[in-house]
Structure 1
Amino acid sequence: MQLFLDSYGAFLGTRDGMFHLRLRQAEDRSFPVRDVKIIMLAQGVSISANAMRLAIENSIPIILLDRLEHPIGQVWSGQFGSIATIRKHQALWSTDVQGINWVRSVLLRKLAGQLEVLLRATADSMLDLGTEVGRIQRTYEQFSNWRYQGELLPDIAATFRGWEGTASRFYFRGLAQLLPSPFYFSLRSRRPALDPFNALLNYLYGFLYAQVELSLMKAGLDPYTGVLHADEYKRPTLVFDVIELYRPWAETVALQLCTSGTVNTGHFTDATEKEGFYLQAAGKPAVVNTMLSYLDEKMPLAGKNRSRRFKIDLDAQQLAQSLKDFTPLHRII
């Protein structure tokens, strides 16, 4: 269950070990901790210290939303989940050839996920996406065959971004052809979103950002020390790197929501020049619940069936473990 609170004057507190919601014009409600996966707070909503403490103790993300209900931050304990050695090594790793090779593995997995999305969606249809699939496959081969040859880090990052950007253009061109006509789009747009489908993607990506950031912090990693994305003030660059692994999940959910009719264009505002399209409150419960259900679905993992949510945690833990034993090999600056 997700608690999406956007009613002005709503207050979230605790009662008898449960979250307790008080609304101005509705009956109070209580929610067992075990049922709550995420708490999202829009403007005009209040939360008590006890409710924040209960969420932190149970690793439930509290996501703060801006006026357009885009995620702008989350509440967490302020304590990383492991020893400082990991973060000391992480700073060295981020400028080492081993960090670059990790980024390459991330982008390879992302490309594999994109191919899976297109091939699965076209398996039972007459749609021909051979051009798009072929271009992504060639990019996959470029990354597979890349080897470090003494380049500077900015040059490597530019090369990787160029390859990945080309593959993404073909990928989204293919994705657009799989959508019902009201959701068709010509270009990937971020902020502002120029069409309803891109607004839906932006919303789902924002949802994943919070999940990834929390997993990194629980594993003891610094979300602000990335590799591919350049350091920027108040920008969690490692989150930007890691989320590439899971973008195909958000795109799968977005495709499912649109093709099934669960969301329609009436769930989105009309575009404005400054703000573009964005998802309205009426469509958010279905979108968030579908995403949560997708994350909770089991998938084969190390011989067991584990949820996708567990996979995010496991990836973060495996990265943290590798950094515990990290020994610099070749610094790239």
Structure 2
Amino acid sequence: MRKLLNTLYVTNPDSYLKKDGENLVISVEQKEVGRLPIHNLESVICFGFMGASPGAMELCTSRNVGLAFVSPYGKFLGRVSGWVSGNVLLRKRQYLLSDEEAAATRIAINCVLGKLLNCRSVLQRFGRDYPDMTSPTLKENLQRLTEGVRLLKESPPVTLNELRGREGILSKYYFDCFEDLILSQDPTFMFEFRSRRPPLNRVNALLSFIYTMIAVDCASALESVGLDPQVGFLHRARPGRMSLALDLMEEFRPYIGDRFVLSLINNRVVSTDDFMVKENGAVILTDTARKTVLAAWQRRKAEEVMHGYLNERIPLGLLPYAQAMLLARHLRGDIDGYPPFLMR
């Protein structure tokens, strides 16, 4: 298993990246404010629009360091990648299976099962830890989710549209009781419902922000094993969309994303004042809060977890790489099916 290196988060929107030998240099208004050796980095995520020099881009791509750009408020803007790595036959197999409805559905079912089983585990863990705070709604929806997962295993859908429909219903059961998992008594952290583009409350703002971070990590992991992040199975190919990265991140949303967001709120790492409400109702993190969240996110990625299929402990930040590697093995025919990551 590869070593987990550092992720550089460039949070100042006025920052510009350039190359100096084997170092990435961060400058603001043409003044150097920091530099890091490229060999210490796993990826670079820039929150802003100033960009990077061609030399800095070449340095990142030649050293397999992911370079992604997001808006100051966490909206994914784009990634820089160099020569496509890996076996061309692997990518040809990926494209072939993506175009075959039955084959794509079989892979997509495992991605969805991983997500739903992890959603169920999140609810079950809350029920064990806080039995006196478990509402009838949570218990009922947990039972619905359990039954839905059983039916998905016993009577799997034969088309992607059927799978998406069943996944949407079961995901709604999960999010309908998501507010029960929030221990904060602050009314500004009410969840109500999942909203995107834009997020309309503080909880959704955190979820969307962290989901973007996970998606970027998944895209980098897929490229590192030679797969095309844009050609998916559950999410169909669409110009500008990282469809396979979105497939891969499904199983990580509850375990990595949702639990991390809940910990930020329940442990009071973030507060009401860490958010701004724009004129269109969109809720976004302040600059200071974004740095706080990213620091906690980097610490979380360094924590080790047990990978059930690989039977070894690995840093949480390497889970996308481990799953990308397993997906590549399945596409090559080395293993019978794609085994999603399941939380314990």
TM bin, normalised by shorter chain, reads 0.7 to 0.9
1:72 equivalenced with 2:80 (yes/no): no
Structure 1 unaligned segments of length 5 or more: list them: 327-333
Separation of aligned partners in 2, 1:178 and 1:70: 26
Match of 2:108 in 1: 103
Name which of 257, 264, 288 aligns with 2:271: 264
Pairs within 5 Å for 1:22-37: 22-24=27-29, 28-33=33-38, 35-37=40-42
Give the TM-score normalised by structure 2.
0.84
2:50 matched to 1:45? yes
> How far does residue 110 in structure 1 lie from its aligned partner after superposition?
0.9
Match of 1:315 in 2: 323
What is the DSSP-based 3-state SS (H/G/I as helix, E as strand, rest coil) of the residue aligned with 2:273? helix
Kept in 2, the 8 Å contact 1:7–1:44? The answer is no
Offset from partner CA, 1:4-35 (integer Å, 9 cap, x none): 33435433224453322223497632224355
Q: Which structure 2 residues correspond to residues 140-289 of structure 1 after superposition, within 5 A?
A: 140-147=149-156, 151=158, 156-179=159-182, 180=184, 181=186, 182-248=188-254, 249-273=256-280, 276-289=282-295
Q: Answer whether contact 2:178 2:191 (CA < 8 A) is retained.
A: no
Mean CA deviation greater in 277-286 or 14-23: 14-23
Q: Find the aligned partners of 1:263 and 1:289 in 2 and give their Cα distance.
A: 12
- The equivalent of 1:5 in structure 2 is 10
CA apart distance, 1:271? 4.0
- CA distance in structure 1 between the aligned counterparts of 2:20 and 2:91, rounded to whole angstroms: 38
Letter of the 1:310 partner, please give it: L
Aligned to 1:294: 300
Q: What is the CA deviation profile of residues 192-220 of structure 1, one whole-angstrom value per residue up to 9, with x for unaligned ones?
A: 11101101100101111111111111211
Cα deviation 1:216-247 (Å, max 9, x = unaligned):
11211122222222332222222222211211
- Tell whether the 8 Å contact from 1:6 to 1:45 is kept in structure 2 after alignment: no
2:25 is matched with which residue? 20
Contact 1:41/1:63 (<8 A) preserved: yes
Residues 1:27 and 1:231: Cα distance change in structure 2 (over 3 Å): closer
| RMSD (Å), alpha carbons | 2.3
Aligned residue in 1 for 2:338: none
Helix, strand or coil: the match of 2:25?
A: strand
What is the identity percentage for the equivalent residue pairs of Structure 1 and Structure 2?
Answer: 23
Which amino acid is the alignment partner of residue 128 of structure 2? A
Where in structure 2 are there 5+ consecutive unaligned residues?
A: 1-5, 335-344
Displacement of 1:254 = 0.5
Contact 1:6–1:44 (8 Å) recurs in 2: no
Once residues 9 and 124 of structure 1 are traced to their aligned partners in structure 2, the CA distance between those partners, rounded to angstroms, is: 44
CA distances 1:108-141 after superposition (whole Å, capped 9, x unpaired): 1111111222222332221222112112111111
Tell me, yes or no, if the aligned pair for 1:91 and 1:225 is still in contact at 8 Å: yes
**CA offsets, 1:260-317, max 9 Å, x none?**
11111211111432x6112221111221222222222211232321122322112112
